[in-house]
Structure 1
Amino acid sequence: MNQPSPATWVPIPPLSGFPVENLPYGVATHGERPAHVVTRIGDSVVSLGALALNGLLDGTIEEPAAYFAIGTLNPFMALGAPAWAAVRERLTELFTETRHRSAVEPLLVPLADVVLYLPFQVADYVDFYSSEDHATNLGRIFRPDGEALMPNWKHLPIGYHGRSGTVVPSGTPILRPSGQRKAPTDEEPRFGPSVRLDIEAEVGFVVGTPSPLGRPVRVEEFADHVFGVTLVNDWSARDIQAWEYVPLGPFLGKSFATSVSPWVVPLAALQDARVAPPYQDPVPLPYLQGETWGYDIALEVTLNGTTVSRPPFAGLYWTPAQQLAHMTVNGASLRTGDFYASGTVSGPLPEQRGSLIELTWNGTEPLHLADGSTRTFLVDGDTVAISGVAPGPNGARIGFGEVVGTIQSAARPGQ
């Protein structure tokens, strides 16, 4: 899918992940101005609300200011793929045709001067478990004498329904959660702050077009419903999770916080990042078959500035389209703002593991950081950043920004 790369009059730093081929969506404020929908090009941000109010988005959708001069992407996402394509085409034109420069350039704002927010209102949140390497590693850690994968793992995308109210934007401090935990050597459970706080490097998918209750979404309809892609850190309290997850699965060990990056990269920007998924054996049931693909997204995880992992999203066993099909095959409807994540992304190499429980092999092999300290799990004050980049047309780099969080001490009772 190698397409001509349009030249832009906007200055783009070398190796930027935000060329004109990207044009992600976000929500930001600038000075005293209220929150608007924005896009980013290079190190500049422009309000789509301002473009609309100046008549520069006329002809794309009806009354564009009603969709962009507001602080959420949801109304625009609900319009569907033809509207998404029309606006993207117009933005590309505004940034590449010099006749528009005099009208658009005064609206560009330095990235450093804006405050970014959660770009969409989360309806439902689902987290999957789709990396075979991650699932195999955890199986070997917890079931060293048994099969690494559960019998159902290669037949369906495993997932759990999370808590939409605790999906937070990048930069939000992460309060260490408290809950019940019981180590194998403890006689009784105890209550207190988690002592095995972990990360999960993931990729998330934002639903734009809803679907009616009772009608499953087919694999081939993925791009009709999914608006774009973000980065995700699904923080995990492993000790709370270990005590609570039998028999119903993740609950309080997961629901305290899930961080997402501030930019939603449209699927159209990732055409050149499509890759064939891994070979699936056994052959999935018919509703999971059809045209589907993965994405060549290279992730990087840093802990206090030290790179600790580079997980490859391209190797995920279950694709985003298969995840969406499975999520709705029982007739569950989609709503605008539904959000689902891939589950921890891990590769076959030790340095490609997307969680601390894998990187330290459940705490038995501590990580060594650049400042001379070691980690098994997160301590208060630690900062984790996850970034990602995908290939674009003609060598362009499609960036996702960062999803960042810093651990704070657990709240005292009554706080």
Structure 2
Amino acid sequence: MIRAGLSPLAWLDDVERQRRADGLRRSLRTRPPVGAELDLASNDYLGLSQHPAVIEGGVSALRTWGTGSTGSRLVTGNTELHEGFEQALAAFVGAESALVFSSGYTANLGAVVALSGAGSLVVSDALTHASLVDACRLSRARVAVTPHRDVAAVDRALASRSEERAVVLTDSVFSADGVMAPLRALHDVCRRHGALLIVDEAHGLGVRGAGGRGLLHEVGLAGAPDVVMTTTLSKALGSQGGVVLGPAAVRDHLIDAARPFIFDTGLAPAAVGAAWAALEVLIAEPWRARAVLEHAAELAEICEVPERPESAVVSVILGEPEVAFGAAAACLDRGLRVGCFRPPTVPAGTSRLRLTARASLTEDEMSSARAVLTDVLAARR
């Protein structure tokens, strides 16, 4: 029975109490412009968000084009800067074309929904990013979720389909544990069944592949006619925004059909300018991609993680949410900021510290990280 006068949001009090009891309450943490802590939590893998050339790239675009793009890209928000960056990034990763969106999230929504739809099948890895999960929900397609990195399950899903069109979704590097997708095997299955492969390279660009060109490039799939790449500009390139890369026909179709592109305001020119400048730094300094993996390997050794990291992410599983949260808090108390992943981001019983390596870490910073992590983890194992 509905009680008159009861607030329609009263149920939120019960939800919050349960979250607190489960150790899953989240809160925003404000940081100053220059943090006092050593940062092993951000996704600034190449250390470019504070690079002078990248800052100048954003400032120059700001002075030239103004503070905002002023409209959707189909109206007034498309500039020479947007299209020049698209061409430069596509050439770098080996794609035929690129299309910039306002975020990596909207790039995934736009690509998946516009390239699937009613009467098609979408096959998605169980641990794909939330943006791909939401894209599946919006696609109006039949969705099959397959176990993590299970190529045989993808093969079965495609073989048993009745739909004419099919799309397979995966991250190239999975964000919670940093492991790589079996892209060559997935592509072989997709090609055998006439399916399109969409790969989110958010955590691969700038880290994997020759000079940071991504995992698709590393495994020889760059520019494949049946592969679409999505990525974000907010991680290795230190800026903001998202991109879909692939055949020119895909770009043309997304301009006509991708709602997050058509109806969203275009990415601010300053973000485009900064991302382009970051790309130029990466091209000139390919050592940054190698340094990320070297530092990740050292962090894994410090934390006694047995597997050598395949990306910038080092996942230290501690079990229950309270243990992981307490470890992260203890690190912060000693001047080290680390990530803390708890359910529903990761499965129950696998709450963890998530460390992210950065190309620009110094020897002194690595020594400081070693001292803190060794002590904090020893008290919790």
Instruction: Report the TM range for the smaller structure's normalisation.
Output: under 0.3
What's the TM-score, normalizing by structure 2?
A: 0.25
Higher helix share: 2
What's the TM-score, normalizing by structure 1?
A: 0.24
